[in-house]
């Protein structure tokens, strides 16, 4: 039988993305206008900037995979 602290370790989820091993931090230089519009849309739609950028990058990757011979 598992001890309580072992059960907590098995079922505990990361508290935020920085603690989640499936995420990594990246830095990019973005045009001011694009950044301002992105922040505004995120605020209006209650979407985090991280989630918006992640979604945009996933869509960009899929487009590149279709348009090119990338094997990712």
In percent, the amount of the chain with pLDDT more than 90 equals 60
- Tokens 């045009």 belong to 31
Write the CA distances from 35 to 26, 29, 49, integer angstroms.
15, 9, 10
Domains of the chain by range and CATH?
Answer: 4-67 (1.10.1220)
Mean pLDDT of 1-29: 75
Task: Give the pLDDT confidence of 28-60 residue by residue, as tens digits.
Answer: 999 999 999 999 999 999 999 999 999 999 999
Helix ranges (DSSP H) in 1-72:
4-11, 32-45, 49-67
pLDDT confidence of residue 16: 86
Q: How far apart are CA 24 and CA 21, in angstroms?
A: 7
- pTM greater than 0.75 (yes/no): no
pLDDT at 7 over 60: no
Q: Which of 59, 39, 57 is nearest to 49 (CA)?
A: 39
- pLDDT, the chain, mean: 85
């Amino acid at each position: 039988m598992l001890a309580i602290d072992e059960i907590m370790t098995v079922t505990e989820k990361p508290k935020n993305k920085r603690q989640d091993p499936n995420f990594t931090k990246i830095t990019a230089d973005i045009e001011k206008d694009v950044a301002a519009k992105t922040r505004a849309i995120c605020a209006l739609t209650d979407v985090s900037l991280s989630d918006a950028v992640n979604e945009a990058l996933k869509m960009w990757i899929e487009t590149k995979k279709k348009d090119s011979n990338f094997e990712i």
